[in-house]
Amino acid sequence: MRIAVLGGGPGGLYFAALAKALDPATEIRVWERNAAEDTFGFGVVFSDETLGGIEHADPVIYARMAEQFARWDDIDIHYRGTLTTVGGQGFAAMSRKKLLQLLQERCAELGVQVSFRTEAPDVDTLSADYDLVLACDGANSAVRTKYADVFGPSLELGHNKYMWLGTDLVFEAFKFYILPTPYGVMQVHGYPYDATGSTFILEMHDEVWRRAGFAESASEVFPPGVSDEKSVARIQELIGDLLQGRKILVNNSKWQTFSTITNASWRNGNVVLLGDAAHTAHFSIGSGTKLAMEDALALAACLHEHPDVPSALAAYEAERRPVVLSTQRAARASLDWFESIGHYVEQPPEQFAFNIVTRSRRITYDNLRLRDPEFVAGMDAWYAGYEAARGVLPDTSGESDASPARPPMFHPYRLGRLELKNRVVVSPMDMYSAADGMPTDFHLVHLGSRALGGAGLVMTEMVCVSPTGRITPGCAGIYTAEQEQAWARVVDFTHSRSTAKIGIQLGHSGRKGSTRLMWEGIDEPLPDGNWQTVGPSAVPYSPANPAPRELSRAEMDEITSDFVACTRAAARAGFDLLELHCAHGYLLSSFLSPLSNLRTDRYGGELGNRLRYPLEVFDAVRAAWPAERPVSVRISATDWYEGGNDVEAAVQIARAFAEHGADAIHVSTGQVVKDEKPAYGRSYQTPYADRIRNDIGTRYGVTVIAVGAISSYDDVNSVLLAGRADLVAVGRPHLYDPHWTLHAAAEQDYTGPGAEWPAQYRAGSRRPPTGRTDGPRPRLTLLREPDSGTRHDRWRPGR
């Protein structure tokens, strides 16, 4: 084989060394436009997982890298005059220049031809002359640009400005410095890379950057290798104390805005992208060097394992793309967190520390408990005291709790005057199993089993306020006396047989009504058109759905009356909480969104007008609902579509409902338009709940409920402890396991009042053994090693 490599960075050089070692007959040539000794930046950091792969793939390279590593375990968070240390993390870093030198030496030993200060020939020529062309030409890849129609690149710019810098101050750990300034919040990310220095990044929101006067250099063009010395001098003034008077080092240091790069494809014939040319991930969760070297390892392996280049490249992309996408999701969560850091600077130091280390959702409560159990134990104790001081814990002085620690999810909660035994909510989920709006025995068993399963609050599906307000013929209502009696039966069972509370969600389908049952074709219209749908405007939900009739003012009053009548029925049935459904594109949600509300009267146009009718309905419902029982509002915090509502609008919507007396805001997203483009992923809606809670939740004393792809108790605990929500709604896991909450307690060895098993099931409250591996193990060591506790090794060269 003949392989051409465009770019002599770590990814290109590492691939060349691995491929040559696997097959010495392979001819490999690397072109690098810069000199061998040139490099931009200071240090690179690796995870233990990546280092394990490097060690296995090329022990020679690994051994030489290991001689250079700065190693440490701690993360130090400097915030509001406090220092919080989280241990057990395990970092390894080294000088970027030294890494390049080692890889250059390895390539030379193996016979790889590397041409420095040399522009590569045209990629079309290389593609014709070589079996494989590897484009490692960075985030500004010329190869990607040339074949953009095939690669399909997408570049998304962030809102923060940052600058890579160095210092001769040697940090002992990974450092986060949160810096309040007259201009806004700035943050420093820093870590050591050898015995002589550290690298750090100064980052801030674009608005803070402008207020601080850094925009003065925005019009200047700095050639490669030239640093923005004026800004660096200003930085020295701002953070000189942090560096203890030591020097700031520069290396191509200038202001940048991070661009998240994705590509629809990484290959075009025998040309393939690697590293930053293919993808980028925000520096706050690791280095691009790490991803590039992982790409290189995978590509070299796939070429060795497959009989030809096309199948090898297909295997490479199939293997790496899911890993990269997962990393990019975590990196995007971290990027968003740092762009929103100003919303967290009122958090107590303990909560802020937990929040910052779990920001990407890759490190979690359970993960931290393994890494640094002392830190998590301290957080558990802090959380109990903090929640008590906030006044959201009911009086539990008469209860006994023998568990050594109460996980956050099993703390009780006071929602208005309603006392919940824990923080878990069974999310509203449509079951499409009613008969002409009448709830059936299915609803009794479905909701009753979840109530027995340990959740603090069980929510009904959306219960419709009229026959034409249903989504499907299988949707339940509470607009007749018979329906009210049927719901009362479900409520009575919940109250008499469990310690759960039960809430009802009221809604009207609007333009999304008159459709088939979910399993017959979700959102597809009924074949006979069954009933006329209505909405704020005559805009169909999708091309397949009929246009709704635009509501007149009189019809809006009639629907408000329907909501009031059903609210009173729900109160008589004994529900503990009422939730008004203003999400997912149903009637009240469609008034809120500019994509579905095109009215020109006082109920359309700017957001204040679009809020008018939902608030009128809310006020009427709140007046009809018993004052001692809480009311929640569910909203879609983004429409996931250009021109629709976004998180800024969601904050205003949540604030409006809070000002009108809502006790809770239940934060979902989307389902407003059929062709939405949601960014799915684990806990993908939680950042919206987080933003609303930290913007208006604490200020107005309103409870915030997070929901959406939260499937593990570990995630529930993490969300609560980080202050991203007060309650967590869990949906599909409760379909998989009606006793999900009780089983979560068993998994965490919690047996207190927050997870009390029904007497009939108490004999099964411990996890059953699964095989011989659960049995007692013999002693196989003569002398036991003492428990060393959490690793808190710090980088202290020479000591």
Say how far apart CA 19 and CA 275 lie, in whole Å. 16
Residue 15 · residue 137 · CB < 8 Å: no
Residue 333 · residue 308 · CB < 8 Å: no
Marked catalytic residue, from 586, 684, 688, 713: 586
User: Starting at the edge strand that comes first in sequence, how are the strands of the sheet with 113-115 ordered?
Assistant: 113-115, 27-31, 2-6, 132-135, 271-273, 267-268
Residue 750 · residue 335 · CB < 8 Å: no
285 three-class SS: helix
Beta carbons within 10 angstroms of residue 119's beta carbon: 11
Beta carbons within 10 angstroms of residue 42's beta carbon: 24
Beta strand 27-31 with 2-6 is: parallel
Judge residue 198's burial from the number of C-beta atoms within 10 Å of its C-beta, 0-12 exposed, 13-18 middle, 19 or more buried: buried
Residue where the block lists tokens 């691009």: 288
Residue where the block lists tokens 């130090």: 76
Q: How far is CA 412 from CA 225, 379, 393, 458, 783, in A?
A: 57, 17, 6, 15, 44
Question: What pairs with residue 525 in β-bridges?
Answer: 515
As a three-state string, the secondary structure of 66-81 is: HCCCEEECCEEEEECC
Beta carbons within 10 angstroms of residue 505's beta carbon: 25
Beta carbons within 10 angstroms of residue 617's beta carbon: 24
462 three-class SS: strand
Following DSSP, what letter does each residue of 85-107 receive, concatenated?
EE----EEEEEHHHHHHHHHHHH
* DSSP designation for 694: I
Residue 463 · residue 507 · CB < 8 Å: yes
Residues 6+ apart with CB under 8 A from 49: none
Say how far apart CA 362 and CA 537 lie, in whole Å. 43
User: 510: alpha, beta or left, given left = phi > 0 and alpha = psi -120 to 50?
Assistant: left
List, in sequence order, the alpha helices (H) in 453-546.
Answer: 481-497, 518-521
Say how far apart CA 523 and CA 335 lie, in whole Å. 35
Per-residue buried b or exposed e for 307-336, using 16+ beta carbons within 10 Å of the residue's own CB:
eebeebbebbbeebbeebeebbbbbbbbbb
Residue 690 · residue 659 · CB < 8 Å: no
Q: Any catalytic annotation for residue 586?
A: yes
Which structure tokens are listed for 396? Answer: 């539990």
Q: Report which of 65, 43, 44, 45 is spatially closest to residue 54, judged by C-alpha positions.
A: 65
Q: Report which of 407, 343, 317 is spatially closest to residue 369, judged by C-alpha positions.
A: 407
Residue 453 · residue 502 · CB < 8 Å: no
For CA atoms 742, 744, 748, 752, the dihedral sign is negative
Q: How far is CA 704 from CA 113, 178, 213, 283, 701, in A?
A: 60, 26, 37, 30, 9
Active site residues: 586
